[in-house]
Structure 1
Amino acid sequence: MNLTVLAASGRTGIALTRQALERGHTVTAVARDPERIDLPDSPNLRKVAGDVTDAAGIAAVVDKDSVVLSALGTDRAGILLTGARAVVAAGPRRVIWLGAYGTGRSAAVAGEGADMLARALGDRLADKVEADDTVLAAGGTVFHAGMLADGPESPHRRTVGLEAGPPFDLGAKVSRETVAAAMLDEAETPRRPGAVALPLAQ
């Protein structure tokens, strides 16, 4: 399968790219500075420069037969929505987007912790929610992950829908490797198109 990974130089993007290669996929790894994609060369890996604020540039690197997996994050409002619109406009086969548990459609099931998260995100919250909604409206899947951590993939990992969401817990973390594996599962076997999915470690 042809996969395009956005923000491929970040820790979650590296996990997505490496695991995708291990599963035998062909990967176009996109980053503003592709030299920072710290993975060995492979005939199935193409490292390219791209910035989600440049819609024409994203359209040029996204293969219409590919599935796009985004590990995009930002500390500035507006970037995520701009990126989501650019990716959807590029017309890939599917989009699998990484969001945050306790925002937007998962806020109600996350409980009181969602209010605390909303305060911490400030003006970035609306950006996250609108980006998620853009992907969902295009039939993509949005993974709402809890607090991310380094570490191995959980042997007990599972992916659930919003109806099975746990209360938000700042102390409960999920590894980037676990989230990457869940997103790749969805790329290979779509189970939640147009819906929010929750990657859990237990």
Structure 2
Amino acid sequence: MNLTVLAASGRTGMALTRLALWRGHTVTAIARDPERIALPDSPNLRKVAGDVNDAAGIGAVVDEGSVVLSGLGTDRAGTLLAGAGARAVVAAGPRRVIWLGAYGTGRSAGVAGEGAGVLAAVLGERLADKVEADDTVLAAGGTVFHAGMLVDGPVSPGRRTVGLAAAPVFDLGAQVSRETVAAAMLDEAETPAFPGVVALPLAQ
């Protein structure tokens, strides 16, 4: 399968790229500085320069017909995190978009308890951007993953993915490894189970 990974030099993007290659996919890895994608050369890996703050530029380097996986985290502001950026990605013509959102925002705020209000205060003006981006991806039939606190570590052996309707209520401090999130997002790319909805990757 032809995959396009956004923010491929970040820790989540790197996990997505590495695991996708291990699973035998062809990957276009996009980062502002492709040299920072610290993975060995492979005939299945193409490193491409692209700035996540430039929605039109990112749209131009997204491979038409590929499945796009966004490894962008919750700590960066930027055009791509807004609806305009998500629309640019969708308009590029990918087969599907699998987007990493933020647990406790938008559609998952109701299952995040009191922590959702705290997160809204932390994100400030970025919150509306993130919700709009999520909604844009979902309207196009993509899947948005809302993960708990991302940490380093291996794929959880007891991992599972649930749709928002079946999500347990858990604290915003609940941890899940980036490798576990990457595995869940790649599962969705390979065998769509949550088109058009928010999914939660859980460690167990």
TM tier relative to shorter chain: over 0.9
Distance 2:191 2:27 in 1: 17
Q: How do 1:154-165 residues align onto structure 2 when only pairs under 5 Å count?
A: 154-165=156-167
- Paired residue for 2:76? 75
2:96 to 79, 94, 99: 94
TM-score (normalised: structure 1): 0.95
Q: Tell me which amino acid in the other structure corresponds to 1:162.
A: L
State whether residues 153 and 177 of structure 1, in contact with CA within 8 Å, keep that contact through their aligned partners in structure 2: yes
Distance 1:61 1:77 in 2: 17
Distance 2:78 2:22 in 1: 34
Distance 2:72 2:173 in 1: 23
- Paired residue for 1:64? 64
Distance 2:172 2:135 in 1: 24
Distance 2:89 2:195 in 1: 16
State whether residues 78 and 124 of structure 1, in contact with CA within 8 Å, keep that contact through their aligned partners in structure 2: no
Identify unmatched segments of 5+ residues in structure 2. none
- Paired residue for 1:194? 196
SS of residue matched to 1:14 = helix
State whether residues 64 and 90 of structure 1, in contact with CA within 8 Å, keep that contact through their aligned partners in structure 2: yes
The alpha-carbon distance between structure 1 residues 124 and 59, as it changes in their structure 2 partners (threshold 3 A), is closer
Q: Percent identity?
A: 83
- Paired residue for 2:115? 113
- Per-residue Cα deviation, 1:13-67 (whole angstroms, up to 9, x for no partner): 0000000000000000000110100111111000000123434432332221200
Give the aligned length.
202
Q: CA deviation at 1:78?
A: 4.2
Q: After the TM superposition, which parts of structure 1 deviate over 6 Å for at least 4 consecutive aligned residues?
A: none
Answer yes or no: is 1:49 the counterpart of 2:49: yes
Distance 1:80 1:170 in 2: 20
The alpha-carbon distance between structure 1 residues 21 and 77, as it changes in their structure 2 partners (threshold 3 A), is closer
SS of residue matched to 1:97 = strand
The alpha-carbon distance between structure 1 residues 124 and 70, as it changes in their structure 2 partners (threshold 3 A), is same
Q: Tell me which amino acid in the other structure corresponds to 2:125.
A: D
State whether residues 9 and 34 of structure 1, in contact with CA within 8 Å, keep that contact through their aligned partners in structure 2: yes
SS of residue matched to 1:95 = strand
State whether residues 180 and 201 of structure 2, in contact with CA within 8 Å, keep that contact through their aligned partners in structure 1: yes
- Paired residue for 1:144? 146
Q: Tell me which amino acid in the other structure corresponds to 1:8.
A: A
SS of residue matched to 1:21 = helix
Distance 1:26 1:201 in 2: 27
TM-score (normalised: structure 2): 0.94
Distance 1:70 1:127 in 2: 15
SS of residue matched to 2:28 = strand
2:182 to 160, 167, 180: 180
My pick for the range that moved more, 14-23 or 62-71, is: 62-71
